[in-house]
Each structure stands twice: as structure tokens, then as C-alpha cells.
A and B are shown apart, each in its own frame.
Chain A
């Protein structure tokens, strides 16, 4: 080594070491190459410039000080947590779908849940399911929102001495429960129907550990009479499998099987198979006769309707039985006598049923054992057993018997119950004797609730052990014997909740091994199926598909002629006014009342949202008015007195309602729930009565309805005009006239008193025909369309056809015969497209934001009209009236035929909305999404709780449901249906990555995929072999307002009904 002290011992590289002259010269110079500026001045380029030490220091100093200044400004914090280790199956921007099952009590739907970046955001139907067959209901579509409900219980709670709930830990809850429960404890578990075989095992184990425990099932809307009647008639308490797809004649007595009754998605899918006109030249369809007191969703779809009073159902079925029995050589029963005006219609109905033995189906929705026994007997006589009525693969979807709950109240009051577990049910609200149940709960030492949200029953419990939402749960369901459906979580639990089955297992104790597992209930579930599922791959396949079927052993049901023992239960028709209490498509019996999407979805029949309205029958005065009881008008308040209890309710004039009867929906007037459902509408459950069998009767006699007692503050009906060409008898000339003037003429002046006849009927919006006249109808339709098309050809503008020819041209087809109006598509659209919820006040001002609405028009006889549903979304006109009037080009046309909105460009003149003949454009009147700069107008939205201050869905938790592919719109801009352009893009990308041509099946709009009946078909006009072009071949197709030459891209297929002569009454 050299001397350390020597300067030359430190060198800067080989040049230095070699004492290179030039290098030393440079190194000792203060400014080696001059500044960059001087270099540039000498003509050197910047890239080649070298930075000197001083320049470097200057730049360094400048950058640091600049950075310091910049950094000292406040920069908004964006919370984004990157993955440290990215999960394999999670690619940002790519959705994952998980098969699971929507199960709420006995309501069931097999679904695929779309998750984005780990968040479930959308529910789709599972096409592999043999039950729901890819269809969904509005309730299933809205289920994803309830996952993010801010009012869900977030942790276990225990009521303290002062009666206030305090958050607890699960250990505390388990400690309290296991110390209180003794093996000899008399425990009552109250649940709705449970579809899960695994959960049934859990309950069995629970009962094994606590032999004195008792299970009580009831359903929010009871079908107990069906179970009991079948027990008597077939030896098995069951709801048989109804095969509507095999039925050519369907008669339904008070059963809303398309909307709410037992398994509407399944039934609607099956029903629609025989309702579609596939070959118009040889048109065939089933015949559907609905016998009911109120206008149900099913009734609006029926070919014939017979209006009865609710108490006449036994008499109707008795007459039907006698008529059919006599033709089969059986003896008649001594049933209640039927009103003579109905007899003829019922006899004709019997004839219809007899025409096609084995291919007919009678269903009944009343909760009377005698009625249901008659239904069994009639179906048996008609030979429907084994074809349209399946007693082998029957349904488990209704297992409840409310009479047992009533018995439980007695034992609770008698101190015979030590502990009560409210297991996913709400007896205090849902049952007529709910108040008594609530009082009896105070006699029970320990009340536990496993419900996941606050409700009337949970409020009275001591211990809250909240369940997961089903999208966070493991589980299974067997809605129909032999049809199993899996439930798997789509997200880790959001809150400190625990699956209710697991809570029971925990309280059973002694299963410590299980609890060491990460997901104990998953392990438990797997062991349930261990014998059926042989390998890991088949287990994964099961979870992937979500459903599987097996052949169950014989149910052991066989027809026993026990009818005579049950006819005593038939009821005599009542006199005086009666009222029906019915379930709505949205609310159930209040299970869904805290879901703003469902509250906002207008009821398909009344078109009202946010509340229940008393349906009043309508009469035509023969001149110009539709008159209702006491001259009440829509949205006015009246007092209805039922069973000595008075309710003040807003009314709506309901076409098709039996004279002298009323109807009011269940499921409203909740007193303990989240913000959306609290205090909306009135609770009718306390008005209900049970019959001698302890079964709830969903009607009452001796009803009085008062005159006008005021007006509802916010009458939230989205459709003011309800008819399109109803006909009635003129009071003077006795001729049949168009009765629509009632809604259009406000002033009458002698000559024009009758209004302009045909002003409503002759519109080219709804096309409809009777099946018998279909050939004439097609001829007329084609002729009229031809005329319109010839005129439209004369336009001087070139149009977009040349552009479309180069690529895709998107279009849609809607089959009005398949559409039953259930509204699943409207909720699906809200979910897919981040459509805001506006609340009751805004809805009453017609500020609803729905991109897709279902118009409902009545036509035909004014007293007993038919109805037609028309889903209306943006028609994506090729001559769009909205486009040319926008001053800033915010709405314009894509090369693929889409009418697009550029929200950022929109100034909000609303001219496009005015000029839209279809009125599908929606304006953001206020800041519905809190996307605005100013929060000022948020409390102004008239939301239920002004304290909360923010609109529904604008809190950070609920925002997790937003679809990241769709912009959230701010106030002041117009929005509308985009044909789910994000899905089109996704489909195009998929086809591109798979290096193939796009197929129609690659793109399914949200409404299309939600539809249980396949009424909506989306596709490419240019794809000649696609589904869309297949549908376009029908000669029944038409375009709404074709003569306006908007060149709409949506084709509608005309509504055809198969009305039998003389059956209506």
C-alpha cells in the first residue's frame, strides 16, 4: 500500500491514476465546461449538454425548493390500497362472477353475482338453474343493495339493564347464551321456511343437544292451507311442483303466481313458454283465466278475468268442482252457493279446463284448507297429477304454519318457554298477532335474534347475534326436491357478524375442532355434502355451477279421497264490502321494505312507489268520468275501517277491482327498520284475522271506507293516465264508446262533451290483437307499417346506414306477449347503471330517474279491462329528435347506432327531453348522487330522515354497490338508457381477445339478462344469424311511433291475447 497521507493516494479513476494531463487540467478548473447556457449559446443541443457542478447545484437547489413549495400545498388524499400480493383471480377492471343463491325465507332464485375488485355489484340469473332458469325477480336484483345497507347490524349486541343495546363481542354473546341455556331448557326457535339442508342438520343437532327445544316455521305470507290440504289429500304436507309450461289452460283463483305466489320467477319462466307467439302463421298459446278480487300482476296478464269477492273463492271452487265432477261421473259436494252472475262464467271456465285434461292447471292462493282441498281434487279429476302438478318433486319453498306460532304465544305467556331464538324472521311485524307475540316475548327470560338488520322483533330481544348477508355466507338450498343450489360468499363479511347456523353450532358446543378452521361453517357445509361430492374437483364444479339435481326417493304422496272431510271448511260468500290484503312484487310482507331500489320501483299494477295505496274499484258514469267510491280521487286520503281498526290511507282508482271490494298491500308501515322503510305506508298486518284452523285470512269483510279526509303530501305515482282505449256504455245512447275522455277532457261543451273519440285508441304505441283475429291483424299492421315506411323513405337526409354497414348496428326486440311486467329489468337497470334513488317527494314531482320503465295500459271493457305492459327504454333512434336539438352536441350518434350521452358536455337545456317522443330522458334535477361541488341541496331531497342529510345511496358504504364502468352523473345533466354500452364494450373486447366475430350472446343488456321470461332480446342488426334477427322475422313486430320517422332501433312484438268468449265476469 502507498502512503495514506499523500494526495496522490486518492484517485478518481484510471485517468487520475495515470496522471493524465488533460484530466488534471479539467479537474482543477473551477468551471470545467462552462454553464449549460453558454454551451447552448455555442450551438450545442440540449441533449448533448453536460451539467456542470454549479449548474447541478443550482438545479438541485431549485428543484428542492420548488418541490418544497409544491409539497406544502394541500394535496387531496386519495385512499387507494394497492395489493402487496395480488390475488390470482382478481384483475382490476375485470369482473368475476360467482354462482350463489338468493334465499330470503322461502323466496329463492339461483344467481350469478358479479364482483368487481372484490365488491359484489350486480346480481344476474343463473341460466344453469332448472328452477329459476336464468331469470331473476326485482327482489333478487335488489338484494345486492341490502348487502351495503348502512342500517345493518354491525356487531353483536346485548341489551343492558336500562334496556339499551350495547355492542358486545362474540365471546360475550356466546358466554351469555351458553351459560343461560341448559340442556333441559325449553327453547323456541321461530323461523321462516328454511330451504337449506345443511341448516336443517344444524337445527337437528341443536334439538339433539336441547331436546326440549321446538322449531316453529311460518311464512311472511302464508301458504299453510296448501300444506295442510295436501297432507290430508296426499299424505304429505307439501306445495306440489306446478308445471305451467305443460299447461295449456291455466286457471288461478286468487293466486298471483307471476308476481308473488310461492316461486314467481320459476312460474313466470314456465308460463311464458306457452305465451310466446313463435310462429305467427300458426299461432298457438295457452289460455289463462284469472279469478280474483283485486288486479294482481297475474291478473293483468290473464286472457280472461272473473272478478269475485274474496269470500267467494270457496263457492267458485265448489261450483268448479261440481261441474267437473259431474262430467267425470263423480258426486258433487254440498258447497257454498255461488252468486248467479258468476255461475255462468265459472261453468264456462270448467268447460275450458275439461277441454284439455292433463294439460290444464288450477292453482289457488287462498289460505283456506277447504279451498285447497278442492284444488287438489279438481286437478286430480282433470288428470293433471303427474303432468302439470308434480307430487314427487314438490317444493319446499313454503313450510310455515302460523297456527303453531299462535300456539307458541300461548306457551310463552304460560311461562313454558325459557329462551326464544328469532331465527331470520320477524313475527312481531309479519303476523296479525304480532303485538301479542311481542308482549309474550317479555315473559321469556332470554330472547335472541339472529336477524341481520334491526326490525320490530329484534328490538325486543336481549341478545343480537347478527347473521351474515347471504352474499357473505356459505350455504345451500333445496327449493324443490332434487334441485340443490349452493350459496358461496362473494365478499368477506363487511361487519363483525356471524352466520346464524354457526351461532347455533357454537351454542351447541362440543365442536371445538370445527372452530379451529378458518371458515368453520364452510367446513360444516362440506361435510354435509361429503357423501354426495366425491372429489375436490366435483366440489369446485358444484360451486362453479351453483346448482345440481339428483333423483330423490319417492315422496310417498298418493291421492286419498278425503275431500268430504274438508268441505266443511269451505266458507260462505259474505255480504257487504270486503278488502283483500295482498303482497306486492317489491315489498313481500315487509322483508324488503328497507331497500330503496324496491321502494322506488313503482308497483307494476298501480304504478305507485314508496307506500301502499288502497285500491278502489272504478265505474264508468256513461258520460265522461271514472268514478270511484265516495268520488275519491287518486292520492286522496280516506279512512278505512277493518275489524274495528281504522287506518288513514291514500287511495288509487284501480281498474279491474271487483265492485264493492278494496285492496291494500302488505309490507308497509314498518316501525323498526332502516331509513328507507321506516314509516313508509301503513301496516295492515294487525287487521288480519285467523280462521278456525289458525290460518291467516288475507281478506276481511264488513269494511267501510270513508270519504275524502285530505290529500297525501306526496302522491308518488309515476303514471297519471292509465288507459288506452277502454270502452264503456254511453248512458244515453247505450252504445259502446271510448271511455277515455274521462282522463282527457276537463271541460265539456255540448257538442264535444264526448271528447275526441279515438284520441287515445288510435295511437301506434300499443298494438294488440286477439289470437283468433291474428291474420287480419297482421295484414292491417303490415299495411299500416308499409304506408309509414313509404312516407319515411321520402326523407332527404342521408341517414347513418352507410356507417352502420361497416360494423355493428345495435338493436333490441321486446316481446309484449312475454313481458309480464314484473319489474326485474327496471331494478337491474338501476343496479347496472348507477341510477340514483330520489325518494318519495321527488317521485311525487315526477323526478324519478329510471332509465327503463314499464308502462302499463288498460284496454277493453272499462269494468274488467285487459292490460298490457310495455317496457320503455331509450329507443336509440337513427333519426334521433334529441340529437339535432342539443346546442352543444352532448347527445350524439355512434357509428354503431347508439344514441350516446356525453355527460361532461351536457349543459342541461332539457330540449332533448322535451323533444323525445318516448319521454325516456331523465334530468338530474337535484344532486341525487352528491357528485356535486355544493352539498347545499342534499337535505332538500325530502328524504325520510333529514338528519341523515344525504340522499339514498350517497354514503360511502352504499357507494360500494356502484358499477365502476358507469359514470355517476352530477346534477344538471340529462341521462338515459345507453343500451348498456359498457356491456357492449366488454363483449367486443371478449370477442377480440378470443379472435372471433362477435355473437349476439356476447352482449346481454342488464334488462335482458334479468328478465325471467326472455321478453327482451338485444343484438346486432348486421348479424344475420343472431338472436335479434331471428326475433325480427315475426310479422307481429312494430315500431312505436313509426310514422314520426325517428327510426327507432327497438322493435316491439304485438300483444296477443287468447280470450275465451263469455268467461269474463
Chain B
């Protein structure tokens, strides 16, 4: 989006005094080089995990849900835990692309492409679970409100599971469109540098983008419209997912705090996953100058805020349980903390609430290693949160006679590993096909106005120019080459 004026005291979002050409070069080249050894190894690992997951899914469908260790008391375990976890992870992408866009947070341009891709892949992983966790996958079409010969048999519009179906499919569609809209000019850039079959393929992918002013105008208009649509989705999707629990009558599920609490948690975990991915990506693809420490610090701030919101939510739950005077609610939370799954509760509390507090320190916020560790912590903590809500609550509900315990079977674990495999396989393919950082968008923020480089970049330029070491560059030519040449 537009390159509005930037405060001179802010550090530049792109470092290393990049020219438009260099940006194109830096960001397109990963798709053009032969895959590195690191990529190949990672891809083999991811693909193996995916294969294992697919086998486990086939076993589940073929033999039955009895291959899992769920039981009459605990009807959902790892399946729905993973579903909610993956959906949550997807949220950062939408938040970055939509809400930060509307709030004109320019630092988003460095990470939005990868974050949006992550959203798509995470939603694919998430959507898998509601489908395969049912007893009879071959009749899941009953979910859809299609005209049928069964008389007035419709899905039950009162059921949160049906709301989920609509919420997630809408979310997926909008996210996919948004992501692809952003990719179109970049695909065109790649196309312009490519030859032969590759060129043809990218031509198709870029819908014959020519870079005409009309194209840009439409592109930006569409981006804005999609941002407008996606913004409420950031809030609605996880709100609706939380309804799966909040509308039930089970103490520990039946809580009005769930919608905001789930949304905050989702953004929290989403940013953690973005960090996990971007810290590796920037290192492997040498993008430190595009995804700077400043980016990492900004995201760490969001993690700190959302993590604290989540912490407040946990404490509020405990307070309300005590304040309600309702014995079942009190027991549910007592049991979460001190019952048979106490370790999950403390894992959740430590990873989600306590550990992000170290980000109060600027030094740690700007420390890549610490950030990476923390991002893993948060991912684990948020998984525990969902497990605590689902399995712990079900294990000890109203009737003590039916209390039970649950540990997953190898098939359930395998499916989770499989979704990690799916996620990373897709991501690794993505970094080979598309520029990981939005080229067109990053070029917008390179300069504050006209040819004016931002802050340190600008200083360097003048020094270089003065010393005569550097050829003065006529801006825009190369950068907009793809737009102009056709």
C-alpha cells in the first residue's frame, strides 16, 4: 500500500541500502536457484511426516475412530486440540495482512506474504481434523445445506459445528484470495526474469499482469476490499471456534469469556508461529535486511501484549469460578490446576503467561535466539491450552462415575505429526515458488517520498555518492521494470 511519510526517528524497515533492482534480485533468486541442501533435507523430513500422517489418517478412516484412545467420557482429544491450535496459528496471517494494513503498519510488508501463506496452510491442516474426526467420514456431506430428497432434512443451524463449517470455509476463501492477489505482481516479476516453460507457467500464475496503471489501481482496490472483508474474520473465526465450547453445558467449557480469550490466544500463537518460520527463513534465504530485528521486536511486542491478555483471561476464569459459587465450575478449575492433568495446566501457564514476560526487556526482544526459543515455547503453551480446555474438562465433569483418563494412541500422534508435515511441505514448496517477501509491497516502503531513502539508508547513500564509490541510481527504472516493459 501507499508509501506515506515515515517518522524520521524510526529506523528504516529495509536495511542495507537496497536498490529496487537489488530487492528484485534478493527476493526472486531463491525461486530460481537450485534448492539448497538445507531445503532438500527439510523437505524430505516434512514429506516423511506428511506420509506418516496420511497413513495414520487412512488407518483411522479404514478401521475406525477406535484406533484412537478417546472414550465414552472424553469424546474429543488430540483431534480437536490440534484443530483449534492450527486455526489459531492461522490468525497472525490475517491480522498482519488485514488489520495491520488498515492501521498502516508498514513493517507488516516484510512478513505478510509468509504469514498469509502460513494462514492458508494452517487452515488446511485445521480443516482436516473436523473432517477425519467423525465416525463416518463418508457422510460428512450431511453438513452441507444442499437441496435433498430427504424432505425437510437440513443441517441444524443451532449447532456451533455448523457455524464452524461456514466460518472456516469463508476464512479460507478470503485468505486464499487475499494472498493470491498480493502474489500476482510478484509472479509477474518472476515471470519477467524467467525463460521457457517457467516463463509460461508464471505467466499463467500472474494472470498476464502487465504492470499497467489500471492493473495497479485494481490490484490496490481489491486488496483494500479484501482487507475490509478479512478484518472481521480475524475476530469471527476464532470466536466461532470458541462457541464449540462456550455454548455447551460442560463446566469449564460453558464460559462467556471464551470468544475474546480465544481470539487473543489465536493471535498470540499465530505470531509465535510467524516468528518461528521467519527466523529460519530469513537466515536460510539471507533476508536479514528485509526481515529485520525491528520486525522481530514489533512482533515480540504483540506477543507480549496478547500473552498478557491470555494470562488475564486465565486468571479471570479462576476468579469467576470462585465468585460464581457454583460447585461444578469451581471443581472444574480446581481440577484443571490440581487434577490428573495438572502438568498440562502448568505447561500452559508457564509457556503462555510467564515466559513471554521476558519481552519487557528490549534486549531480549531484539535477541533472535531468545525470540526463536520463546516462539517455540508459545506454540507448545498454546497447544497445552487447547488440550487443557478439551481433554481435562471432559475427563472430570458432572458425574464422578464417568470420570476417565485419556492418553493418545500412536495414530492420533501420527496425525498431528502428519499435519506438521503437511504444513512444512507446503511452506517449503511455497518458498521455492513465490517470493517470500512481497516484492511490490517492500518497494513501496523503501523510500519515504520520491527518491528519498529512509534514515540510515539515506545517509549511507550520500556518503557513498560523495566518496564517488557508487554510481548514482536512477530510481524506479529497474524496480518497475516488470511493469513497464510490456
Contacts and interface: CB of A to CB of B under 8 A. Distances in A.
A846 B136 contact: no
Contacts of B331: 744, 756, 759-760
B432 to A, nearest CB: 37
Given A888-B155, A922-B72, A1046-B249, A908 B135 contact: yes
B9 interface: no
B128 to A, nearest CB: 15
A765 B65 CA distance: 31
A357 interface: no
Interface in B324-338: 327-328, 330-331, 334-335, 337-338
Interface stretch (B111-119, B139-147, B190-198, B256-264): B139-147
A973 interface: yes
Given A911-B75, A926-B63, A881 B159 contact: no
A907 B142 contact: yes
B468 interface: no
Given A759-B331, A846-B72, A885-B160, A752 B338 contact: yes
Interface string A880-920: 01001111110000000000000001111111011101110
Contacts of A925: 64-66, 70
B105 interface: no
A856 B331 CA distance: 21
Contacts of B338: 744-749, 752, 755
Contacts of A744: 331, 334-335, 338-339, 396
A924 interface: yes
Contacts of B404: 720, 846
A693 to B, nearest CB: 44
Interface in B211-268: 244, 247-250
Contacts of A905: 142, 153
Contact of B400 (A721, A745, A913): A721
A86 to B, nearest CB: 36
Given A888-B142, A907-B143, A1046-B249, A760 B160 contact: no
A723 B67 CA distance: 31
Interface stretch (A15-23, A295-303, A933-941, A1017-1025): A933-941
A749 B396 CA distance: 20
Q: Interface centre among B133, B142, B394, by most A CB within 10 Å? A: B142
The A interface, classified by DSSP as helix, strand, loop or mixed, is: loop
Given A721-B401, A744-B339, A746-B339, A846 B249 contact: no
A971 B405 contact: no
Nearest to A847: B71
Interface in B146-187: 153-156, 158-162, 165
Contacts of B72: 846-848, 913, 919, 921-923
A839 to B, nearest CB: 12
A923 B140 contact: no
Contacts of A907: 134-136, 139-140, 142-143
Contacts of B67: 940
B76 interface: yes
A1041 interface: yes
A543 B400 CA distance: 48
Interface in B258-294: none
Contacts of A934: 62
Contacts of A887: 142-143, 155-156, 159, 161-162, 165
Contacts of A747: 337-338, 342
B334 A765 contact: no
Contacts of A1044: 249, 398
Contacts of A842: 66
Nearest to B398: A917
Nearest to A914: B75
A889 B75 contact: no
Contacts of B64: 924-927, 937, 971-972
B402 interface: yes
Nearest to A1041: B398
A881 B249 contact: yes
A758 interface: yes
A720 B405 contact: yes
B401 A926 contact: no
Contact of B330 (A745, A756, A872, A884): A756
A887 B158 CA distance: 8
B317 interface: no
Contact of A763 (B162, B249, B328): B328
A762 interface: yes
Contacts of B154: 889
A724 interface: yes
Q: Which of B70, B133, B160, B162 has the most CB of A within 10 A?
A: B70
From B62, B249, B396, residue with most partner A Cβ within 10 Å: B249
Interface in B33-77: 62-67, 69-73, 75-76
Contact of B63 (A748, A872, A885, A937): A937
A416 interface: no
A855 interface: yes
A972 B137 CA distance: 9
Nearest to B136: A972
B476 interface: no
Interface in B120-139: 130, 133-136, 139
Contact of A910 (B75, B165, B249, B330): B75
Nearest 5 pairs of A and B residues by beta carbon: A908-B135, A972-B135, A925-B66, A846-B71, A926-B66
Given A759-B327, A759-B331, A940-B67, 19 more contacts: A744-B338, A746-B339, A763-B400, A847-B72, A853-B401, A855-B401, A887-B156, A889-B156, A908-B134, A908-B135, A909-B134, A913-B72, A914-B248, A917-B397, A921-B72, A922-B72, A924-B64, A936-B62, A1044-B249
19 contacts: A756-B330, A758-B327, A765-B400, A842-B66, A846-B72, A848-B72, A881-B249, A884-B156, A884-B247, A885-B247, A886-B156, A888-B155, A909-B133, A914-B248, A915-B250, A971-B66, A972-B64, A972-B65, A973-B135
